[in-house]
Amino acid sequence: MLSRAVSRSLPRATSRLAQSTTTRTLLQPTLRASLRQSTLRPQAIWQAGFSTSLKHFDAVSQELSAKLASEISLEGENTTAQTDSDAGAERFLEENSQWTLESPDGEQNVVLRREFDDEIITVAFSIVDFNTSVLPMDGEEGDEAFMDEEDEIRDQSGGANTKGAINQGGTKNDNFKVAPEDSIAPADREELIDEDYDDDGQQAYPANVNVLIQRAGKGALRINLVTDNGRFTIHGVTHLPETTPASSVADLLRNTPDHIYTGPPFQQLDEEVQGLFEQYLDARGINTALALFIPDYIDVKEQKEYVGWLGRVKEFVE
């Protein structure tokens, strides 16, 4: 993956096409014969320039195609880094056959499904988190799997907003952790940033996860999570009534009608309520094993889709 890291750091060049203008000169009627001859010359020059441009762009296309082929070959050689992720993802699917994986080629969204008693559980995430910074720069917004803007700015909602209520819910469930934003002083947050990097100095990216739990006649619960270093953090729980307009499960995961109350920030809930929600998810397989599988599979699929993208673009331009 070193080649990709180097190539992504290079500035992107932009091409500019020069434009020329032709100035027309008014001639006397007595010079009509010479006018006919002069009007043919720019046309011949323009035609010659167009023919030259076609050859130029074709050469560039072939050069681009050759470079893409080189990148495909290079990615095929650098497979060592993928071994651990491949093994981890395969092991999870073998040991947790209750989950059905839906990961269409050429698409960035991944879905896991299972049944639990009378419930249908859907877990959705996206490989875009592979290229999303842990701490986005000011003015930038990271892509999130099937999440809407309301979930991203949930800290602005109402609900159980009482003094001293925020982030008091440290629970005993090791599969989950409390979001640290509000409970830790700014001066202490730098230490947490260091924990987001592994021994090789590579950034340990978190992944956004949406869980949808559906029950017939009762609507659904949509739970917004982040998985990081093998642990889940719950950010919000929204109940979607049976009457919620949606044409698919993806709609329920992605969209929330404006009139539906999305619930308070999870960290504002009573500590015991937080802990019981975490146990509720753990009983349904939203646990450490899944929290470890998701980034592993993101790594595997992103690499596969990247190589596939190289091949499709190469085929297009050649």
Written as one string, the DSSP assignment of the chain is: -HHHHHHHHSPPP---------------GGGHHHHHHHHHHHHHHHHHHHHHHHHHHHHHHHHHHHHHHHHHHHHHH--TTHHHHHHHHHHHHHH-TT-EEE--TT-SEEEEEEEETTEEEEEEEEGGGGGS-SSPPTT-----TT--HHHHTGGGS-SS--TT-TT----S-TTB----TTTS-GGGHHHHHHTTB-TTS-B---EEEEEEEEETTTEEEEEEEEEETTEEEEEEEEEE-TT---SSHHHHHH---TTS-----GGGS-HHHHHHHHHHHHHTT-SHHHHHHHHHHHHHHHHHHHHHHHHHHHHHH-
Q: pTM, whole model, 2 decimals?
A: 0.64
**Tens of pLDDT, residue by residue, the chain (318 residues):** 455 644 444 433 333 333 344 444 444 444 445 545 555 455 544 555 555 555 556 889 999 999 999 999 998 876 655 666 788 889 999 999 999 999 999 999 999 999 999 999 999 999 998 876 443 433 444 444 555 544 444 444 444 444 344 344 444 556 666 554 444 344 444 444 444 444 444 445 799 999 999 999 999 999 999 999 999 999 999 999 998 888 888 888 888 888 899 999 999 999 999 999 999 999 999 999 999 999 999 999 999 999 999 999 999 998
The residue ranges of every structural domain in the chain are 97-301
- CATH code for the part of the protein at 97-301: 3.10.280.10
